[in-house]
Chains A and B, each alone.
Chain A
């Protein structure tokens, strides 16, 4: 079953913060985050494995709460380049397929 992402869309001013959530009704082994710009391929951001770890890449970080079966992506001090659609992909077991959420559109304005 497809994970649910929220919000569906968010508009930010440059420098503002945002949180994107990804929730599953099933137990998860891992969560993958990707960003896709219009007309382009998805670009990998990070993977979180079960264990409640947190990861970061510059000013984009994420957490994974396996008990709640939820992951959150944090955009801190957003930049114009952060605009795009963010997808989470969830994996129920190692070596299983990725099931992607419907995406969250982020628009960062100057």
Chain B
């Protein structure tokens, strides 16, 4: 049973470009969470999605960031017009049901904006 998969593992973008981060949850998991982690800091919640629905996006910046989890395919976190401050590790996690259950984290995507 494959774990949570994220790709790419490392992504370098120039300022102003778009970044697309993909997350495939564990088999049978329909709940996906995205977190951002700055160097030497904790995990900051961004968004919680179920298939085709955004449940909680209270941690998402209002502009440039969007997330989706389509019926088919991986969840995607999209950052438009990246800036240097977007450089961070982005982790996604999945769970079989809503919280009460552990979240399984993927290996993360390390985004560097030059």
Contact = CB atoms under 8 A, between A and B. Distances in A.
A64 B11 CA distance: 39
Nearest to A5: B42
Given A40-B107, A42-B43, A44-B102, 18 more contacts: A2-B42, A30-B99, A30-B100, A32-B103, A41-B91, A41-B105, A41-B107, A44-B104, A44-B105, A47-B100, A87-B42, A95-B98, A95-B99, A97-B59, A98-B33, A98-B45, A98-B103, A102-B42
Interface in B78-114: 91, 98-108
Give chain A's interface residue range (CB within 8 Å of chain B). Answer: 20 to 34
A100 B91 contact: no
Contacts of B101: 47
B112 to A, nearest CB: 14
Interface of B: 33, 35, 41-45, 48, 56, 58-59, 91, 98-108
Main secondary structure, interface of B, reads loop
A43 interface: yes
B42 A96 contact: no
B80 to A, nearest CB: 24
Interface string A16-33: 000000000000001010
B43 A87 contact: yes
